[in-house]
Amino acid sequence: MMLELHEPVVALMRQVGRDIVMPRYQNLSSDEVSEKAANDFVTIADKESELRLAEGLAAILPEAGVIGEEACAVDPAILDRAGQGLNWIIDPIDGTGNFAAGKAPFGIMVALVDGGTTLAGWILDPLTGRLCHAMLGGGSHIDGERVQARESGGDLPIAALAVYFMPEEERADIQRRSHGSFTLVDIPRCAAEQYPRLVLGQNDVSVFARTLPWDHAAGTLFVNEAGGCCQRTDGTPYIVGDLRRGLMGASSPRLWDRAAATLFG
């Protein structure tokens, strides 16, 4: 079933990127951007993208429910279904803060989950057209080519630590522990970009505090199917519907173990 779904899902995502997202890029009026919470933006393009994706995905696989980021912002109870049954998970524009500011990166993310297990995930960069996708047991691909995660090869592992959602004390502890053990780089504030970086040898380690499914269902599968390692900071698997905090990805299991011992040991 997953192979049959791939082409229509990709076609839908590319259409949404072309017809809805990109026409609004660097072309938003002030009344088309608002804050759902402090530093958590939503634009008219997010809303229109989600509506079109939800409609299209429901037509592709009618038996699956649909859980979108913006729908959950309006009705948080929708998120309660995330770990129950077959569902599409939609992030209509990941990296909305970047998109609203008229800069890269940002992306469209879609995943198909059954219970807590991600069966397939797709990550589209509408600016470059790059498409990352993975299927459970079927490997990871970028623009149709199978990929294997690779380490950066630097003297120290390259780490992008998304600590801004952590409590101040926890954030300070992570920063203290990381000193001298990693080469720290800025985060892109966009999971749709961060996960590919772990596979492409650009970053070795990424830590995330919040673990909402639209941000992470597709990306965790993509990294794991590429031979990297993405799991909870306590070493347990990432399960959709489990809203505990804390998630770490690495370009290899070896680096994941090393980072876990350094940052959380």
Q: Are 45 and 18 in contact (CB under 8 A)?
A: no
Q: Report the C-alpha gap between 202 and 28 in whole angstroms.
A: 31
- The per-residue pLDDT for 259 is 97
- Is residue 247 classed as helix, strand or coil in its secondary structure? strand
Report in angstroms the alpha-carbon separations of 68 from 54, 172, 242. Answer: 8, 33, 16
Q: Is 94 annotated as a binding residue?
A: yes
Rounded to an integer, the average pLDDT of 223-228 is 98
Residue-wise pLDDT tens digits, 152-204: 999 999 999 987 778 888 888 998 999 999 999 999 999 999 999 999 999 99
Q: Do 204 and 158 contact (CB within 8 A), yes or no?
A: yes
Q: What is the pLDDT of residues 83-131, one digit of tens each?
A: 999 999 999 999 999 999 999 999 999 999 999 999 999 999 999 999 9
CB atoms within 10 A of CB 77: 7
Instruction: For 12-63, write each residue's pLDDT tens digit.
Output: 999 999 999 999 999 999 999 998 877 789 999 999 999 999 999 999 999 9
Q: Is 69 annotated as belonging to a binding site?
A: yes
Average pLDDT, the chain: 95
Give me the domains of the chain, ranges plus CATH numbers. 2-146 (3.30.540.10), 158-263 (3.40.190.80)
Q: Does 215 belong to an annotated binding site?
A: yes
The response to whether 239 counts as a known ligand-binding position is no
Question: What is the rounded distance in angstroms from the CA atom of residue 235 to the CA atom of residue 187?
Answer: 23
- Residue 33 has a pLDDT of 94
Question: What is the per-residue pLDDT for 229?
Answer: 98
Strand ranges (E), the chain:
33-37, 40-43, 65-68, 86-94, 107-114, 117-124, 131-135, 139-142, 145-147, 158-162, 183-184, 205-208, 229-231, 247-250
